């Protein structure tokens, strides 16, 4: 590829690198993607795609290709001594979403969908191209690439994204220290298990020596098996199959047959992170920035969210739609997420690997009582969901967030969240659901009927057409112009917590940046400056 045409080089073609490349390319940025591997991964790794990630897939426009190829998991069951002690469900009433479930689908499928989409945007993945060196310069990054035939390529790109995994060359060359510790060693394998278990649930089995976790695959009878017990020396497929059968059978109360795994891995749990994710014109994302326990399936999900956050910001800067200061918010928003993630996954690891000698006696009684106390059980379900789904993540402390004194509705820095039922039954919410795939910011103006309000709305629409999708919203048809959204009864306005004549500004990733009065021109201008947005070239202002 002609290096003069490349605006961003992405190192790493896993789900994180592919996501950031997709978000850049669909916004018109010229991207190059390289990976040291000889070709796409064929073995399964991550499988859990939580609700917030599914929302991101919708915004990216790829959900319809991923959803039919997965299996919905909506429960968590605990077994011991041949009994199912409890079955936790999912309660999304406090965290509304259009996708109230975890989708179990192979990471290789997600990567395949994203690669195909990128190819359609004119961005093929370059395999056997290893980034081996980099040097930052004032106007770009000098990069050394090593190809399969041993030849070395030198090129300079304006921006570099390192999505090259836990052993990231980009992170190492930037001198970003991965701090933390390692703990116990676990065994994970993918195998067909002859056991009569509901496939809409994860299953935690209390077994001697340490629990076993079973996670469903879309394929009938196939499970991901995670063993927390100390390992034997023999990790051949035959020995691993026998080991799992021996450990699972007593917990389920009947003999279970486990086929030889199609994939297995022995790994030591790492809990590490870096203190910053940007260094000049270089960024790191996903496992290159934070590695942690696989407990609760957060790795790929957090990496995808890193990539979405970085992708829209970097695209706006590259395209000249925002000032470079916008990129500082990537560090400000995502570094705390990585830190919080280590805390939550440590807790999840401790729960999954529960080895307390008293657990065998206490579990049946404790969980039996919890099953009888329905309100308490729902509280536990909501707590589990809050930590796992990604829906509780918010950016209240972000430099892009402007707080207001309005009570109720969506608070600044939080997701603009709504259920599928609300989107289906309320025209305003349905319009917002459809518009959420637009790569721009969204400015909604409610009942902008006065001359001043209409002038303010037209001013923003004209000056920021490349950056902001502007929509008027009217509760009564007589107020509406032909382009306005209908919001009968004010369901959308009330849900957002604003009054007639107000506006809301929603970020490209679906978080509320600000609410205010449309006629308060200084406030609206201040909000747009806070977001570092630049007026469109068409109005002759830079």
pLDDT digits over 183-201, tens only? 778 889 999 999 989 999 9
The per-residue pLDDT for 369 is 78
* 396 Ramachandran zone, left/alpha/beta (phi>0; psi -120 to 50): alpha
Cα 268 from chain centroid (whole Å): 24
**Helix, strand, coil abundance in the chain, percent, nearest 5:** 35, 25, 35
Lay out the sheet containing 159-162: strands in order across. Answer: 125-126, 31-34, 8-11, 159-162, 282-284, 278-279
Q: What DSSP character marks residue 533?
A: B
d(CA 437, CA 460): 20
Question: Model confidence at 294, in pLDDT bands (50, 70, 90)?
Answer: confident
Dig out the tokens for 382 from the structure: 């909501």
Residue 361 has pLDDT above 80, yes or no: no
282: helix, coil or strand? strand
Closest Cα to residue 375, out of 97, 99, 83, 93?
A: 93
Spatial distance between the Cα atoms of 35 and 39, rounded to a whole number of angstroms: 8
For 212, other C-beta atoms within 10 Å of its C-beta total 23
Enclosing H/E stretch for 49: strand 48-49
pLDDT digits (tens, 9 = 90+) for 394-418: 999 999 999 988 889 999 999 999 9
Please determine, for residue 32, whether its predicted confidence score (pLDDT) is greater than 90. Answer: yes
Q: CA separation (Å) from 137 to 141, 161, 169, 296?
A: 6, 15, 18, 40
Across 92-131, b (16+ Cβ under 10 Å) vs e yields: beebbbbbbbbbbbbbbbbbbbbbebbeebebebebebbb
What span, in angstroms and rounded, lies between the C-alpha atoms of 323 and 534? 7
511 is written with which tokens? 């978080």
* Residues forming beta bridges with residue 266, ordered by sequence position: 187
- For the beta carbon of residue 369, count every other beta carbon within 10 angstroms: 12
Nearest to 432 by CA among 526, 512, 344: 512
Instruction: Return the pLDDT at 540.
Output: 39
Which DSSP category does 75 fall into?
Answer: E
The residue with tokens 């308060």 is 520
Q: Output the six-digit token pair for 320.
A: 């000249």
Q: What is the mean predicted confidence (pLDDT) over 444-461? A: 83
Paired with 168 in beta bridges are: none
CA–CA dist 33, 44 (Å, integer): 22
What confidence score (pLDDT) does residue 541 get?
Answer: 34
User: Which of 80-89, 223-232, 473-482 shows the lowest mean pLDDT across its residues?
Assistant: 473-482
First to last CA, the chain: 30
pTM value > 0.75 = yes
Least confident of 186-195, 227-236, 478-487: 478-487
Q: Residue 105 in contact with residue 47, Cβ under 8 Å? A: yes
Residue 187: how many CB atoms within 10 A of its CB? 22
Q: Encode 214-266 in three state secondary structure.
A: EEECCCCCEEEEEECCCCCCCCCHHHHHHHHHHHHHHHHCCCCEECCCCEEEE
436 has a pLDDT exceeding 50: yes
Contact by Cβ (8 Å): 172, 162: no
User: Of all residues in the chain, what percent carry a pLDDT higher than 70?
Assistant: 92
Tens-digit pLDDT profile for residues 371-383 = 878 888 888 888 8
**Residue 539 in this model has a pLDDT that exceeds 50:** no
Q: Does residue 351 register a pLDDT over 70?
A: no
User: What per-residue confidence (pLDDT) applies to 405?
Assistant: 86
pLDDT band at 453 (very low <50, low <70, confident <90, very high): confident
Phi/psi of residue 156, nearest 5 degrees: -125, 130
- Report pLDDT for 341: 73
Angle at 522 between CA 518 and CA 526, to 5 degrees: 100
Query: Mean pLDDT over residues 279-305, rounded?
Result: 89
- Residues 43-64, mean pLDDT to the nearest whole number: 93
CB 471 within 8 A of CB 535: no
Q: What value, to the nearest 5°, has the Cα angle with vertex 494 and ends 492 and 495? A: 65
Residue 292 — very low, low, confident or very high, per pLDDT cuts 50/70/90?
confident
């Amino acid at each position: 590829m002609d290096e003069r045409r490349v605006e961003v080089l992405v190192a790493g073609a896993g789900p994180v690198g592919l996501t950031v490349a997709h978000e850049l390319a669909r916004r018109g940025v010229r991207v190059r993607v390289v990976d040291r591997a000889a070709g796409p991964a064929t073995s399964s790794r991550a499988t859990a795609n939580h609700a917030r990630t599914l929302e991101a897939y919708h915004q990216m426009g790829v959900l319809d290709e991923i959803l039919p190829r997965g299996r919905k998991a909506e429960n968590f069951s605990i077994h011991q001594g041949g009994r199912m002690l409890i079955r936790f469900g999912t309660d999304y009433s406090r965290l509304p979403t259009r996708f109230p479930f975890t989708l179990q689908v192979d990471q290789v499928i997600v990567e395949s969908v994203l690669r195909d989409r990128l190819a359609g945007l004119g961005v093929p993945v370059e395999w056997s191209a290893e980034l081996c060196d980099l040097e930052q310069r004032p106007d770009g990054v000098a990069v050394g690439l090593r190809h399969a035939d041993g030849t070395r390529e030198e090129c300079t790109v304006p921006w570099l994204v390192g999505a090259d995994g836990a052993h990231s060359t980009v992170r190492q060359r930037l001198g970003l220290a991965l701090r933390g510790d390692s703990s116990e060693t676990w065994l994970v394998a993918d195998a067909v298990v002859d056991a009569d278990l509901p496939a809409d649930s994860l299953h935690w089995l209390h077994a001697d020596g340490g629990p076993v976790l079973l996670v469903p695959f879309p394929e009938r009878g196939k499970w991901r098996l995670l063993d927390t017990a100390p390992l034997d020396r023999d990790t051949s497929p035959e020995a691993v199959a026998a080991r799992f059968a021996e450990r699972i059978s007593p917990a389920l109360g009947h003999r279970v047959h486990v086929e030889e795994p199609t994939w297995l891995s022995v790994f030591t749990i790492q809990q590490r992170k870096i203190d910053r994710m940007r260094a000049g014109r270089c960024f790191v994302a996903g496992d290159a920035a934070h590695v942690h326990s696989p407990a609760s399936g957060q790795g790929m999900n957090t990496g995808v969210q890193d990539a979405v956050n970085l992708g829209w910001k970097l695209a706006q800067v590259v395209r000249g739609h925002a000032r470079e200061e916008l990129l500082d918010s990537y560090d400000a928003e995502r570094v705390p997420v990585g830190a919080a993630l280590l805390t939550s996954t440590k807790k999840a690891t401790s729960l999954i690997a529960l080895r307390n000698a008293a657990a065998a006696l206490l579990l049946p009684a404790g969980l039996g009582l919890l099953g009888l106390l329905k309100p308490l059980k729902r509280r536990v379900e909501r707590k589990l969901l809050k930590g796992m789904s990604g829906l509780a993540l918010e950016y209240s402390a972000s430099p892009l967030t402007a707080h207001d004194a309005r009570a109720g509705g969506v608070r600044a820095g939080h997701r603009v969240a709504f259920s599928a039922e609300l989107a289906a039954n309320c025209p305003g919410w349905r319009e917002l659901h459809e518009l959420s795939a637009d790569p721009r910011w969204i400015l909604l103006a409610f009942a902008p009927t006065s001359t001043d309000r209409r002038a303010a709305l037209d001013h923003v629409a004209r000056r920021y057409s490349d950056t902001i999708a502007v929509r008027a919203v009217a509760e009564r048809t007589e107020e509406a112009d032909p382009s306005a959204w209908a919001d009968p009864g004010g369901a959308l306005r009330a849900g957002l917590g604003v009054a007639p004549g107000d506006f809301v500004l929603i970020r490209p990733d679906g978080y509320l940046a600000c609410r205010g009065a449309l006629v308060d021109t200084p406030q609206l201008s201040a909000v747009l400056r806070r977001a570092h947005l630049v007026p469109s070239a068409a109005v002759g202002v830079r």
